[in-house]
Amino acid sequence: MSRSASLFVSLTLFLLATVLQAAPAVVPPPPKLDARSYILIDFDSGEVLAEKNADERIEPASITKMMTAYLVDQELKRGNIGLDDEVPISEKAWRMKGSRMFVEVGKKVPLRELLKGMIIQSGNDATVALAEYIAGTEEAFVDMMNAQAQALGMTGTHFTNSTGWPDPEHYSTARDLAILARALIRDFPERYALYKEKKYTWNGITQYNRNRLLWRDKSVDGVKTGHTESAGYCLVSSAQRDGMRLIAVVLGTKSDKARTQQSQALLNYGFRFFETHKLYGAGQKLAEVRVWFGARDKVGVGPAEDIFVTVPRGRYGDLKAGMDLQPSVEAPVEKGRELGRLRVTLDGKPKREAALHALAAVPEGGLWEKVRDTVLRWFE
């Protein structure tokens, strides 16, 4: 090969390598799933990575029990009930059809055991017993469920029972169920380990968790299955790999096998093509704002919560962050007062936005500070 040809080849390879290096990562479309609706979100950032009919009203079946579990955990955290409480089994709970824990009417069962029966075995009898113990009646408990759904921002959800028993007015959406699963994991991490238990034995009867992903994928640690003839086979799953947690909701598939395979495909897609990073920590000072007439002349500002962002793999370095801050404020300044906004973009498009708050209170200054700042403001 001549020297000129060799130089041409070298230059061509160099230019090609430069173009390939500069080219942004390409994220393919999500896998096509034979499901009525689905959604995939990142747990930390809350970003939606894939969705189909995510706001369509569906029957959640036993996935409903996530809300029952949320309220049980909430009452435990508040100290209103205890894990060792002996819960009476009513005739209504005992007569429940569908999946059951096989508790006996008139007996008392420790609350911790009923929790296992509801979460691992999806027992309708255990679920009703818990609802009655907390609220007196299942009907009163349902009011609590609907109030909590609204508090979490589940705008497309309405419950009529604690178990997911079919009812025309009992419905949710894939997006709402993802919100609920995220809240369950975030708000009660100390009890989330129950959701990865593969089997549970009560009264001599061993039953297995219906979430088959627990056997197929070691990174999966929850969350809940659901099935009725009208709802089809449904699964809310969550997995954590290398510090990144995803939540997948797959609703209305044709079989147990299908919901397992399609949930696995959705999780694999998210982990393969995306990455999540913590940009800033809660309370981290990102800037300062001038304070007039205060005991101090500046106040630090930062986010009230950790700020995470999810991007296509390899694109973290392309993020750009900016702040819109109030140029100055007058004392007094309350801690937590919003003083600006953080804006994160990728390729010029909005990626994340968050409020920036005063990280400390600044009381009014004395006479000297007020006189000083009055003079200084004349020269502004």
Q: Is 122 a catalytic residue?
A: yes
Coil vs helix vs strand at 121:
coil
DSSP conformational letter for 341: E
Q: Which of 37, 45, 65, 116 is catalytic?
A: 65
Contact 168, 240 (CB under 8 A): no
- The β-bridge partners of 222 are 238
CA 45, CA 48: separation in Å to the nearest integer?
A: 9
Cβ-proximal residues to 160 (8 Å cutoff; 6+ apart), any chain: 142, 167, 169, 170
Q: Which of 122, 162, 237, 238 is catalytic?
A: 122
Q: Is 92 a catalytic residue?
A: no
Contact 42, 277 (CB under 8 A): no
Element (H, E) at 140: helix 138-151
Query: Residue holding tokens 């549970």?
Result: 200
Q: Which of 62, 99, 237, 238 is catalytic?
A: 62
CA 270, CA 194: separation in Å to the nearest integer?
A: 24
Active site (catalytic) residues:
62, 65, 122
